[in-house]
Amino acid sequence: MTEASYETARIADLADTTGWSPIRKRFGVESFGVNAWTAGEGDQLLPVHDEVPSGHEELYVVLSGRAAFTVDGDELEADAGTVVFVRDPAAKRGAVSREPGTTVLAVGGLPGEAYRPRSWELQAHLLLDAGEHEEAKRVLTKAHGKYADDAAILYNLACAEALLGERDEALGHLREAIEAHPAYAEYARDDADFEPLRADPRFAEIAGG
């Protein structure tokens, strides 16, 4: 079957219950990251964050409504049609909706390199928080090796397996996650998802503490 040369969708129709419209994921965009967020008046549109882990430049476009951005300590009022480009990955940025139905489109990528998606778009933490551990494991297993921050996939997969009582698998994936990203050792020591593993001496060996 030949893949269609183009597709269309409405941002509103893609939105989940949090107001996130996963555009990149929906269309399978491989050359850049692109998503949209919609929020009610006074609600958080974009969480305060930086792009140090990814190194991405990000460009935000206010499609409708009005948003209050904070970028690197500066406050910016942005109505529909405003473009905000954040060049420095280390700059903290976030946005709050000033009007109901405000929508912001975000486009990002790493200069000079082929785009690879990051695992946050899987929203696996929501599955774990909802107790859908089997589904979280399925989603994360399928995603393993496909995202730029694969250590995060392994860490969350270990969380799901620990909660499912799959001790050996969880410890193995936690070890791999920490080897790739040592900061996960500290996270694991305080993460309630690993409570089923704490009595196992291998957990202390892997996570320290």
* 119-207 CATH fold: 1.25.40
Class of residue 153 by CB neighbours under 10 A (exposed 0-12, middle 13-18, buried 19+):
buried
Helix (H, G, I), strand (E, B) or coil at 61: strand
Question: The domain 11-109 belongs to what CATH superfamily?
Answer: Jelly Rolls (2.60.120.10)
Distance of CA 183 to the CA centre of its chain: 17
pLDDT at 115: 86
pLDDT at 4: 86
pLDDT at 63: 98
For the chain, domain boundaries: 11-109, 119-207
pLDDT at 2: 62
pLDDT at 148: 87
- Per the prediction, the chain carries an average pLDDT of 94
pLDDT at 52: 92
Helix (H, G, I), strand (E, B) or coil at 184: helix
**pLDDT beneath 70, residues of the chain:** 1-2, 209
Closest to 25 in 3D by CA, of 121, 128, 112, 160: 121
